[in-house]
């Protein structure tokens, strides 16, 4: 039996329509018996028709996958629709009646196909959501280890050079002191020798004078004079002065070896520690949704779980619940809703106020102006970026302000706290590059996302960020005129570019169904987690200029206006 195809246009940004002829309403259900997608009204008529009242009609997400048509090779007019349990071969119903299969057991091939199809989807989910990102995390850890090893080696090299330079400095110092001492000894010895030389200069003069005087006596013609002079004058020769020979210093060479020098410079050793195996996080893949309806309490606590999808659907119209004006701001540029049911509202000039859900002012903070620069954590702490000081601040419930994360050269533009695990997603930029950075609860950097698989830049201006229930990171990029969606591993999934020209996205959020809502100053666009357009929830006819949006646990949609107005709407039932 050929599958009845739902009327889905070629692009991913359109309604999934009812498959019943002449019906153009939204598809919400699926008949497993006749493989027809259908709306709520057609489902009612289908189950009230005597011919089809016993058909199995389920939510579209829980549909049974139709068996692809394949003709039997033995009976070309028949479709293969059975599996012989004994022979383990697919066959048609006519072949099942042949003698070679007499007495055998058969299973509906479509049931097996649906089971295997679901199995493949689960395995793909495991591969995409666990094995691939976990492997990539380990690969990233390996690269980080390689970087760390290089850093450690460079530090050791620096220490070794410093030790060598220190030893060289000590050698130079000792050498200098030895030279100075040697110079002093040399000077002292030379001075002593100089004194001795002077003594002999004087002694030589004395001797020469005596020689001259004796010669004068000998040459005198008066013998009386010679006799009398020699008798009266003591003409003794002075003894030769005693002097000492210098004792030069002796240099004793140092007694050292290469090993001695190695001890002085230190040595390299590898610790006798057994390498620890890398930790592989356990697989936590959520099971496929079931049609069991959760309680209202579960609806609130399971905001991030896919089984909530089965309890709600889109209403045919949007209902305005109430409207209030936010005091203390010039416009409603960004909204953050905390767990206590209070709203943080900021404008484009740095005013940040907290109100209750009726618009009563609770507190006001002056901050750096920006787009989606604040968010509230699971613990109720306010996180906000300061792009002037390049820091991400945390304000706790007791109003203690701390500089939580310093971003270095990167300017933090926007921030979002994950409902799934409490991670922080920050839009960052420098003059050369733009990226999304993931931090854990303690502020440790975990991930950077900036290019697709082709090496192209994903972002120009990530002014608003949110995270979907499937872990997708959804970024409103006004410069790119698109909502850029990547999976939690950072792989680009799709970019939503609006309906027609002039799309200029601002505030963004997601709902309990995994749908994505984005404001463009004229409309609030609603599309599913695969990029398929569903509806324009807010249109210009409502006289609202949407700048920001958020959804609370009761599935109320809060829409911030370019004025100071917040409109609360219902769009799910």
Q: Are 115 and 107 in contact (CB under 8 A)?
A: no
* Range from 60-74, 215-229, 287-301, 329-343 that averages highest in pLDDT: 329-343
The pLDDT, as a whole number, for residue 305 is 39
Taking a C-beta distance cutoff of 8 angstroms, is the pair 473, 467 a contact?
Answer: yes
What's the rounded mean pLDDT across residues 125-143?
88
The 3 state secondary structure assigned to 49-118 is CCCCCCCCEEEHHHCCCCCCCCECCCCCCCECCEEECCCCEEECHHHHCCHHHCCCCEEEHHHHHHHHHH
CA 289 to chain centroid, in Å, comes to 30
Tell me, rounded to whole angstroms, the distance of Cα 430 from its chain centroid.
16
Tell me what the mean pLDDT of segment 226-234 comes to.
63
Share of the chain above pLDDT 90, in %: 39
Question: Which among 367, 398, 397, 408 is positioned nearest to 385, based on CA atoms?
Answer: 367
Contact status, residue 74 vs residue 101, Cβ threshold 8 Å: no
Residue for token pair 């498959």: 19
In this predicted structure, what is the pLDDT of residue 559? 95
pLDDT at 28: 82
Residue 292, pLDDT > 60, answer: no
Please compute the mean of the pLDDT values over residues 225-249 and round it to a whole number. 78
Domain with CATH 2.120.10.30 in the chain: 312-572
- Smallest CA-to-CA distance from 117 within 59, 58, 66, 57 is with 66
SS3 563: coil
Query: Which of 371, 334, 392 has its CA nearest to residue 463?
Result: 371
Residue 284 has pLDDT above 60, yes or no: no
User: Stretch 188-213: mean pLDDT, rounded?
Assistant: 92
How many Cα atoms within 13 Å fall on the side-chain side of residue 549?
33
Per-residue pLDDT, averaged over 547-569, amounts to 92
Lookup: tokens for 492: 């680009």
| Confidence (pLDDT) at 474 | 97
310 pLDDT tier (thresholds 50, 70, 90):
very low
Which of 299-319 are b and which e, b meaning 16 or more Cβ less than 10 Å from the residue's Cβ? beebbbbbbbbbbebbeeebe
Mean pLDDT of 542-561: 91
Are 530 and 508 spatial neighbours (Cβ–Cβ below 8 Å)?
A: no
Flag the least confident range among 272-276, 323-327, 482-486.
272-276
The confidence band for 259, taking pLDDT boundaries of 50, 70 and 90, is confident
Q: What is the mean pLDDT of residues 60-74?
A: 80
Question: What pLDDT is stored for residue 74 in this prediction?
Answer: 85
pLDDT of residue 300: 37
pTM of the model: 0.50
The sign one gets for the Cα dihedral 105, 111, 115, 121 is positive
pLDDT of residue 296: 33
pLDDT of residue 232: 60
Given a cut of 60, is residue 538 above it in pLDDT? yes
Q: Using pLDDT thresholds of 50, 70 and 90, give the confidence band for residue 303.
A: very low
- pLDDT tens digits, residue range 396-405? 888 888 999 9
Q: Is the pLDDT of residue 313 over 70?
A: yes
Most confident of 1-15, 89-103, 242-256, 404-418: 404-418
For the chain, give the percent of residues with pLDDT over 70. Answer: 90
pLDDT of residue 230: 63
How confident is the model at residue 394, as a pLDDT? 93
Confidence check: pLDDT of 509 > 60: yes
User: Rounded mean pLDDT of 503-513?
Assistant: 93
Residue 438, phi then psi, degrees to nearest 5: -105, 130
Q: What is the pLDDT of residue 290?
A: 37
Average pLDDT across the chain, whole number: 84
Q: Which range has the top average pLDDT, 395-399, 418-422, 529-533?
A: 529-533
Query: Looking at residue 89, what is its pLDDT?
Result: 87
Q: How many CB atoms lie within 10 A of CB 529?
A: 20
Q: Regarding the domain delimited by 312-572, which CATH topology (the fold level of the hierarchy) does it fall under? A: Neuraminidase (2.120.10)
**205 contacts 180 by C-beta, under 8 angstroms:** no
Question: What's the N-to-C CA distance of the chain in angstroms?
Answer: 35
């Amino acid at each position: 039996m050929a599958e009845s195809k739902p009327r889905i246009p070629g692009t991913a940004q359109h309604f999934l329509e009812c498959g019943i002829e002449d019906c153009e309403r939204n598809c919400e259900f699926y008949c497993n018996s006749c493989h027809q997608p259908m709306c709520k009204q057609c489902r009612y008529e289908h189950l009230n028709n005597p011919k089809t009242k016993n058909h199995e009609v389920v939510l579209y997400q829980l549909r049974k996958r139709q068996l692809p048509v394949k003709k039997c090779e033995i009976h070309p007019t028949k479709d293969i629709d059975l599996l012989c349990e004994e022979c383990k071969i697919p066959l048609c119903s006519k072949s099942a009646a042949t003698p070679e299969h007499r007495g055998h057991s058969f299973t509906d091939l479509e049931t097996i196909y649906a089971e295997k199809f679901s199995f493949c989807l689960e395995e793909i989910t495991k591969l995409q959501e666990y094995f691939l990102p976990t492997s990539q995390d380990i690969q990233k850890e390996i690269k980080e280890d390689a970087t760390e090893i290089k850093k450690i080696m460079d530090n050791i090299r620096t220490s070794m050079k410093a030790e060598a330079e220190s030893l060289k400095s000590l050698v130079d110092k000792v050498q200098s002191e030895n030279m100075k001492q040697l110079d002093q000894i040399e000077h002292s010895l030379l001075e002593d020798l100089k004194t001795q030389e002077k003594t002999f200069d004087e002694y030589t003069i004395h001797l020469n004078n005596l020689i001259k005087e004796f010669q004068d006596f000998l040459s005198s013609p008066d013998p009386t004079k010679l006799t009398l002079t020699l008798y009266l004058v003591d003409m003794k020769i002075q003894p030769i002065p005693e002097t000492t020979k210098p004792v030069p210093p002796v240099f004793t060479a140092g007694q050292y070896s290469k090993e001695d020098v190695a001890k002085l410079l230190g040595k390299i050793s590898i610790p006798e520690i057994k390498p620890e195996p890398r930790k592989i996080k356990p697989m936590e893949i959520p099971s496929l949704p079931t049609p069991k309806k959760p309680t209202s309490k579960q609806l609130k606590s399971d905001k991030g779980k896919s089984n909530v999808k089965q309890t709600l659907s889109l209403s045919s119209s949007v209902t305005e619940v109430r409207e209030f004006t936010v005091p203390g701001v010039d416009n409603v540029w960004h909204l953050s809703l905390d767990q206590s049911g209070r709203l943080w509202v900021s404008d484009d000039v740095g005013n940040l106020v907290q109100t209750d859900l009726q618009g009563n002012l609770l507190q006001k903070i002056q901050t750096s102006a920006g787009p989606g620069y604040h968010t509230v954590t699971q613990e109720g702490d306010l996180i906000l970026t300061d792009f002037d000081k390049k820091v991400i601040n945390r304000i706790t419930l007791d109003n203690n302000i701390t500089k939580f994360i310093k971003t270095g050269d990167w300017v933090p533009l926007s921030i979002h706290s994950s409902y799934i695990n409490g991670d922080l997603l920050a839009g960052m930029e420098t003059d050369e590059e733009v990226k999304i950075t993931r931090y854990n609860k303690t502020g440790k950097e975990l991930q950077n996302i900036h290019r697709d698989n082709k090496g192209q830049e994903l972002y120009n201006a990530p002014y608003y960020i949110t995270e979907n229930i499937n872990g997708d990171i959804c970024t409103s990029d006004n410069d790119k005129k698109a909502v850029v969606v990547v999976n939690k591993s950072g792989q680009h999934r799709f970019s939503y570019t609006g309906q027609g020209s002039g799309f200029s996205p601002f505030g963004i959020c997601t709902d309990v169904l995994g749908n994505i809502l984005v404001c463009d100053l004229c409309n609030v666009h609603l599309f599913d987690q695969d990029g398929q357009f569903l509806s324009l929830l807010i249109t210009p006819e409502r006289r609202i200029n949407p700048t920001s949006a958020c959804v609370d646990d009761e599935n109320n949609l809060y829409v911030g206006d370019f004025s100071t107005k917040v409109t609360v709407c219902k769009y799910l039932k």
